[in-house]
């Protein structure tokens, strides 16, 4: 452990593995990597939204993750979305920390973060890591959009520094919340490297796939993910190519309830598999080991944890030029970029990609030890007069 003499204790707030998502994994992986430099406390949400307001409420609390926090990290599952007493209890951990990191992805946690930030009586530096500037669901409703704007503006007055994952998001957060760009830094998400690779043939056999070509969409199925364009593109592939291909759409459907009907009406539905459920860690290596290409036909996006799994497995990734995807995936030699909502171009690139199957090396700059080094530099600078709040 390389504990810095000036900053010894870091407290990270984020969702626990009870509410499994990409942010849960980032909270864990970031905590584990920073533990090489600091004494880390992971202060986690025990309960978030009222359970039935969470689209995936049926799986809350299930053991779906195989990874865990390092033994030298203090893990406290304490925070309740609706219980201010737990926020007060959390303040004692905040007081013990030298730097506080908030994981931000939706305004549903804004009131809790605001309360905890106000209890930061010793003015310890607060860093907010933004995974979404504006959540797609919130953006679609004026009241939620206004609430997000107001709460985000209030919290940013209490924070010291901000982390985003692309230059596009850096500009967006500055304009959306009127934050000085000098207080916003780009630090990417590291690779999701907690999964073991499986022999491709064994993975296909286990999944019952007989076709030589496997095209994978993976992750929560939401309208902005553009999955319907992937189905359209698959239908436009040459008939012989379709006969040798299997399109696997794997992930829990949230707002997108029409996809099942689209697949049922498809003339090539016999070569499309829809697995409408959340996939736990024990199954993820099967799908990514079996895949010849990962397709991300998003209409909008900030970042994607799914891409960081695909890069770790070394498979080709076909992604749209939206949001921060082009910047983050540009580091990966195996990425093929397309325009969003263009099934003809997507079909051409799928056929081209699968005609020359190959694997690629994961980007070295996205290793977690490299990411932790960037965080270490930032956290040490937070102790300087340059960023100290008066």
Distances (CA, A) of 220 to 126, 224, 284, 306, 370: 30, 10, 13, 10, 28
State how far the Cα of 20 lies from the Cα of 6, in Å rounded to an integer.
Answer: 34
- Return d(Cα 261, Cα 256) in angstroms, integer: 11
Instruction: Read off the tokens for 219.
Output: 């992750």
d(CA 375, CA 37) in angstroms, rounded, equals 10
Domains of the chain: 9-190+367-382 (3.40.50.2000), 200-363 (3.40.50.2000)
Q: Where are the alpha helices (DSSP H) in the chain?
A: 22-34, 84-96, 110-118, 136-139, 142-156, 167-177, 200-207, 227-235, 239-243, 259-265, 284-290, 305-313, 325-329, 343-355, 368-382
Query: Average pLDDT for residues 120-132, to the nearest whole number?
Result: 87
- C-alpha closest to that of 115 among 162, 144, 160, 155: 155
pLDDT at 386: 54
Residue 350 has pLDDT above 90, yes or no: yes
Distance CA 272, CA 291 (A): 14
Q: How much is the pTM?
A: 0.88
Residue 168, pLDDT > 50, answer yes
Query: Using CA atoms, how far apart are residues 230 and 105, in angstroms rounded to an integer?
Result: 26
Residue 140 has pLDDT above 80, yes or no: no
Q: Is the pLDDT of residue 43 over 90?
A: yes
Once rounded to an integer, what is the mean pLDDT over residues 303-327?
92
**Whether the predicted pLDDT of 385 surpasses 80:** no
What value does the mean pLDDT of the chain take? 87
Torsion of the alpha carbons at 149, 154, 157 and 161, rounded to the nearest 10: -60
Please write the tens of the pLDDT for every residue from 363-374. 999 999 999 999
Query: Region 36-59: what's the mean pLDDT?
Result: 74
Looking at residue 105, its pLDDT comes to 80
Mean pLDDT is lowest, of 136-150, 338-352, 361-375, for: 136-150
pLDDT at 308: 95
Going by pLDDT thresholds of 50, 70 and 90, the confidence category of residue 55 is low
Best CA proximity match to 238, nearest among 332, 348, 322, 313: 348
Q: SS3 for 219?
A: coil
- Whether 54 has a pLDDT exceeding 60, the answer reads no
Q: How many CB atoms lie within 10 A of CB 50?
A: 10
Q: Which two tokens stand for residue 211?
A: 């076709």
Q: How confident is the model at residue 208 (pLDDT cuts 50, 70, 90)?
A: very high
CA-CA distance, 234 to 247, in Å (whole number)? 8
- Per residue in 260-296, pLDDT (tens digit) is 899 999 999 999 999 998 888 899 999 999 999 999 9
**The pLDDT of residue 216:** 98
Contact 103, 79 (CB under 8 A): no
Q: Is the pLDDT of residue 340 over 90?
A: yes
Residue 71's contacts (CB-CB under 8 Å, 6 or more residues apart) are none
pLDDT of residue 177: 81
Report the C-alpha dihedral over residues 29, 33, 35, 36, rounded to 10 degrees: 160
Per-residue pLDDT for 139 more than 80?
no
Spatial strand order in the sheet of 317-320: 272-275, 245-250, 213-218, 293-296, 317-320, 335-338
To the nearest whole percent, how much of the chain has pLDDT over 90?
Answer: 58
Q: Compute the distance between CA of residue 324 and CA of residue 163 in angstroms, rounded to an integer.
A: 14
Asked whether residue 390 carries a pLDDT value surpassing 50, the answer given is: no
Question: What letter would DSSP give residue 100?
Answer: E
* Token pair for 129: 């890591």
Question: Is residue 341 predicted with pLDDT exceeding 90?
Answer: yes
- What single-letter DSSP state applies at residue 189? P
Residues 229-260 have pLDDT tens digits of 999 999 999 999 999 999 999 998 876 678 88
Q: What is the pLDDT of residues 89-122, one digit of tens each?
A: 999 999 989 999 999 887 778 888 888 888 887 7
């Amino acid at each position: 452990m390389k504990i810095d003499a000036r900053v010894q204790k870091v407290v990270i707030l984020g969702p626990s593995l009870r509410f499994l998502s990409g942010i849960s994994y980032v909270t864990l992986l970031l905590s584990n990597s920073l533990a090489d430099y600091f004494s880390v406390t992971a202060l986690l949400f025990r309960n978030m939204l009222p359970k039935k307001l969470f689209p995936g409420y049926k799986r809350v609390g299930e053991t779906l993750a195989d990874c865990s926090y390092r033994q030298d990290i203090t893990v406290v599952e304490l925070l309740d979305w609706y219980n201010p007493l737990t926020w007060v209890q959390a303040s004692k951990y905040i007081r013990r920390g030298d730097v506080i990191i908030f994981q931000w992805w939706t305004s549903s946690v804004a009131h809790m973060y605001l309360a905890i930030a106000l209890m930061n009586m010793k003015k310890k530096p607060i860093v907010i890591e933004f995974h979404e500037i504006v959540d797609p669901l919130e953006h679609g409703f004026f009241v939620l959009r206004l609430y997000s704007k107001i709460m985000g503006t209030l919290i940013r007055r209490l924070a010291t520094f901000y982390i985003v994952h692309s230059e596009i998001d850096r500009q967006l957060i500055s304009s959306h919340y009127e934050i000085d760009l000098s207080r916003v830094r780009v630090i990417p998400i590291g690779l999701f490297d907690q999964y073991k690779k499986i022999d491709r043939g064994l993975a296909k056999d286990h999944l019952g796939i007989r076709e030589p070509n496997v095209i994978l969409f993976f992750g929560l199925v939401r309208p902005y993910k553009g999955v319907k364009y992937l189905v359209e593109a698959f239908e436009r592939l040459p008939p012989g190519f379709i006969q040798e291909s299997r399109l696997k759409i794997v992930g829990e459907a949230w707002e997108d309830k029409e996809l099942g009907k689209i697949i049922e009406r498809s003339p090539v539905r016999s070569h499309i598999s829809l697995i409408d459920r959340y996939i736990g860690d024990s199954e993820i290596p099967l799908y990514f080991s079996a895949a010849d290409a990962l397709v991300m036909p998003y209409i909008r996006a900030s970042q994607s944890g799914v891409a960081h799994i695909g890069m770790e497995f070394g498979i080709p990734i076909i992604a749209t030029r939206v949001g921060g995807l082009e910047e983050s995936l540009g580091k990966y030699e195996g990425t093929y970029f397309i325009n969003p909502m263009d099934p003809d171009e997507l079909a051409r690139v799928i056929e081209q990609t699968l005609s020359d199957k190959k694997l690629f090396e994961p980007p070295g700059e996205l290793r977690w030890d490299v990411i932790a080094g960037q965080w270490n530099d930032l956290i040490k600078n937070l102790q300087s007069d340059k960023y100290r709040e008066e």
